[in-house]
A and B are shown apart, each in its own frame.
Chain A
Amino acid sequence: MKLFVKIPELTLLTLLSLGVYLFIFMATPMGHAGILSSNQLAGLMLSSFLLSLAIAIIAVVAGIGGGVIFTPLLLAFTAIDTLVVRATGLIVAMFSGLISTGPLLRHGLADIRLILFGAIPITSGAVAGAYSALALDQSMGARSDAWVRLMLGLILLLVALLLVRKGADSEYPQPLTLDPLSRRLDLHGTYEEPSLAKTIHYRAGRTLPGGLLLLGVGFLGGFFGLGGGWAVVPVLNLVMAVPLKAAAASSGALLALGNGAAIWPYIFYGALIPALAAPWLLGQVIGGIIGAHLLTRVKASLVRNTLVTMLVLTALKLVMRGLQGL
């Protein structure tokens, strides 16, 4: 509650959003154009908004972007066209990242040079992924989606396993011996860790493999509409030795940049439906502000446990859907 007093724009957005959706629910003038009544459609919008808010808080704390929860959720529990789900998933992933970028850069938890290092590969990869998704949908349809969904689920399980095995080492990785490129780029950072009451210093290494992996992550994120945070955090943390909270913080901004380029093919194709995306977007913005302030205060172990839980749940769902589609 103190957050709502401290951040007046958060209060304004929350009140306006709730007000508008309650108004729509109670007073919509639309008729009955299909199997869902206008009241039911309004109810779906209000539910989407509230669910999105909860997802955003969890997603920002874990650094994964809401898309990795949203996209499998809708693919699993609704019959909505997969392109529409993926386009909306990119919006969901992007807006929690966009709104959390400001507070996290201000607090120093996210580092601008680390973000700018990853921005080009992730943005390029994401655009290629988005166009590939549209091309594949046109040429091969649902069967190819099933195979890729299955493979993605297995990759997520592998990443979750790596995070579990690395355990607490991943929260504050041991400094690496820097290669020449890493020394040249000098990706070092500093942030205050309230849970330990000390200042954390770090230096990112393995920048070439990290950059190449971010290119691949961008591609997968743009292709699946998942955003990519679920993979960006492990790349920054496990490969480049960035502390977990700093990785989660920088991941949000990287998602925003990559998805900010990847969304356009979907917009041009007409796959982004405004009425569906709007409540999800608003929930992400409000939840993203809350999540960003929480991330600066929570323990790194909570971030890791949340991330692992989300990865495993998402992976299992993806594997099930993949097998069903074959």
Chain B
Amino acid sequence: MEPDEPTLSHRQLAGRQCGTMIYWGTLAGALLVILGSLVSMGMGHNLVNVEAQLNALWQGQTLAAIKQAGGMDSSHLHWYLPPSWRGDTLIMLGMVTGILSTIPGLLRASLTLWHNHDRLFAWSGLITAGLIAAAALGLLQTPL
């Protein structure tokens, strides 16, 4: 007979759900970064000229010069989403996967808190998830 596991409070449960989703989302992102690194630096299959970009970077050139050296076109927001995947864009996709893993984590925790009538903190989770999503969609931009 299995020993009884201690019952979690709804707060502890929400915390675990949030933490678990973020943890595995970040790991998935890290694996994509590893794959992207192999394709990018190991096989030289990139959207931009990574070696020229890195040289410009380590020489202390400005960001504009670094982008020019690599032939990077950042005129559209999600420049790393091309029609076909390359090493450097896979690295970016991995980073974005990790960054955005917070959204499902927050939503899951908010759902648990909501069901347990912890509405104030459920709203906080929803608003925070909304802020991160809005930032990712470029909705919080200011003219530069």
Q: Which residues of A contact B (CB under 8 A)?
A: 9, 13, 16-17, 20-21, 23-24, 27-31, 33-36, 38, 41-42, 44-45, 78-81, 83-84, 91, 94-95, 98-99, 101-106, 108, 110-113, 115-117, 119-120, 123-124, 127, 131, 134-135, 138, 185, 253, 256-257, 260-265, 267-279, 281-282, 285
Contact = CB atoms under 8 A, between A and B. Distances in A.
A127 B36 contact: no
Nearest to B39: A20
B55 A35 contact: yes
Nearest to A98: B26
Contacts of A84: 57, 63, 66
Interface residues of B, number: 79
Interface string B10-49: 0110111011101110110011011011101111100001
Given A84-B63, A117-B124, A268-B77, A278 B11 contact: no
B40 A275 contact: yes
Contact of B38 (A23, A112, A134, A264): A23
Nearest to B103: A260
Interface of B: 11-12, 14-16, 18-20, 22-24, 26-27, 30-31, 33-34, 36-38, 40-44, 49-63, 66-67, 72, 74, 77, 79-80, 88-89, 91-92, 94-96, 98-102, 105-106, 109, 113, 118, 120-121, 124-125, 127-128, 131-132, 135-136, 138, 140-142, 144
B58 A78 contact: yes
Contacts, number: 248
Contact of A120 (B80, B105, B131): B131
B108 to A, nearest CB: 11
Contact of B54 (A41, A81, A110): A41
* Interface majority SS (helix, strand, loop, mixed), chain B: helix
Contacts of B11: 111-113
Nearest to A32: B51
A257 B37 contact: no
The 4 closest A-B pairs by CB, nearest first: A79-B60, A102-B23, A34-B55, A105-B19
16 contacts: A34-B52, A45-B41, A81-B57, A102-B24, A106-B19, A112-B15, A113-B11, A120-B131, A261-B135, A264-B138, A267-B92, A273-B53, A274-B92, A275-B53, A281-B94, A285-B98
